[in-house]
């Protein structure tokens, strides 16, 4: 209890974490309870009600097929949040592992891993993701893989950099002198000490991953209609910008608010956990 209270007291000085947290709790709540909260089936069409901005029973109006935009947004939140989590999971796990190995073992392994990361960084992230998804084929899972893989170098570099600092500390020297093996040192002593910067970057990357995935869907490479994915909704809705601007406006707003939530948390956490990282 004492610890929780201490944390809450620390949070009080960081309103951004609180605002971001509230936004994300709300989005998660809406996503989890989408089947209960959605007034309509996200894919059921009522063509006689198409492109209505205000119509009874449809809180945010209807799209070109008379589908309920609010219901589609709620289900879309599930997709976007999962995309963020899976993509960040892939990037942080692979990148983190590569960075850890490169930083701890050093030498040739380090050079090989880091040159590979240089090569990946030479292709702008979104273009690399587009290339990967083009090779794997369109679809939401492939988008998650593509976005995750294209973020691997960011984690690898960050973790390697942090490991290099931690490796030289006296406590690592001490456990080494005690004869601990490399694997144990990595798991018990290095990883917990580089957790803070990885957390900060991961929460920021959640926002970027959601943006990138929505961008790929916007280009027609991600979720396919009639899936209620925000990027796809926006992409379809842009054709009706002149006659029914509300159709592309709401999904864009949903992406924007969710990404802001993650960035608020990331920014706030950075200040909270490690003021030295402050940009």
Positions touching other proteins (CB under 8 A) are 115-116, 118-120, 122-128, 130-132, 134-137, 207, 211, 214-215, 218-221, 231, 234-235, 238, 241-242, 245, 248-249, 251-253, 255-256, 259-260, 263-264, 267, 278-279
Shortest distance in whole angstroms from residue 167 CB to other proteins: 21
Element (H, E) at 169: none
Q: Which residue has the tokens 């050079």?
A: 111
Half-sphere exposure of 43 (CA within 13 A, CB side): 6
Measured CA to CA, the distance from residue 217 to residue 50 in angstroms comes to 23
For other proteins, the closer CB: 148 or 248? 248
> Distance (Å, rounded) from C-alpha 173 to C-alpha 193?
14
Cβ–Cβ < 8 Å for 63, 51: yes
Nearest residue to 265 via CA among 22, 28, 78, 26: 22
Label residue 85 exposed, middle or buried (CB < 10 Å: 0-12, 13-18, 19+).
middle
Residue 5 CB, shortest distance to other proteins, in Å, is: 29
Tokens at 66, concatenated: 């008379």
User: Which of 11, 116 has the CB closer to other proteins?
Assistant: 116
Shortest Å, Cβ 150 to other proteins:
10
Nearer CB in complex with other proteins: 51/126: 126
User: In this complex, which beta carbon is closest to other proteins, that of residue 190 or of residue 255?
Assistant: 255
- Give the shortest CB-138-to-other proteins separation in angstroms: 9
Judged by beta carbon, residue 189 or residue 228, the one nearer other proteins is 228
Least separation in angstroms between residue 111's CB and other proteins is: 10
């Amino acid at each position: 209890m004492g610890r929780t209270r201490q944390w809450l007291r620390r949070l009080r000085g960081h309103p951004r974490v609180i605002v971001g947290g509230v936004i994300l709790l709300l989005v998660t709540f809406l996503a989890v309870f989408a089947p209960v909260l959605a007034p309509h089936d996200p894919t059921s069409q009522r063509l006689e009600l198409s492109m209505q901005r205000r119509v009874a029973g449809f809180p945010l109006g209807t799209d070109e097929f008379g589908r309920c935009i609010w219901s589609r947004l709620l289900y879309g939140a599930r997709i976007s949040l999962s995309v963020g989590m899976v993509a960040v999971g892939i990037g942080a796990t692979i990148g983190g592992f590569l960075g850890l190995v490169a930083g701890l073992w050093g030498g040739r392994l380090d050079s090989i891993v880091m040159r590979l990361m240089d090569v990946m960084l030479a292709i702008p992230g979104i273009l690399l993701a587009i290339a990967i998804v083009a090779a794997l084929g369109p679809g939401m899972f492939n988008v998650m893989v593509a976005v995750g893989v294209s973020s691997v170098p960011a984690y690898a570099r960050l973790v390697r950099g942090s490991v290099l600092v931690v490796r030289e500390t006296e406590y690592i020297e001490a456990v080494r002198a005690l004869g601990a093996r490399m694997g144990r040192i990595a798991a018990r002593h290095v990883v917990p000490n580089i957790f803070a910067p990885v957390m900060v970057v991961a929460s920021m990357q959640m926002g970027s991953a959601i943006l990138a995935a929505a961008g790929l869907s916007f280009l027609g490479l991600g979720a396919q209609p009639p899936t209620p994915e925000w990027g796809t909704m926006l992409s379809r809705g842009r054709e009706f910008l002149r006659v029914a601007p509300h159709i592309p406006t709401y999904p864009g707003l949903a992406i924007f608010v969710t990404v802001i939530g993650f960035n608020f948390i990331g920014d706030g956490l950075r200040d909270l956990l490690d003021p030295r990282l402050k940009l």
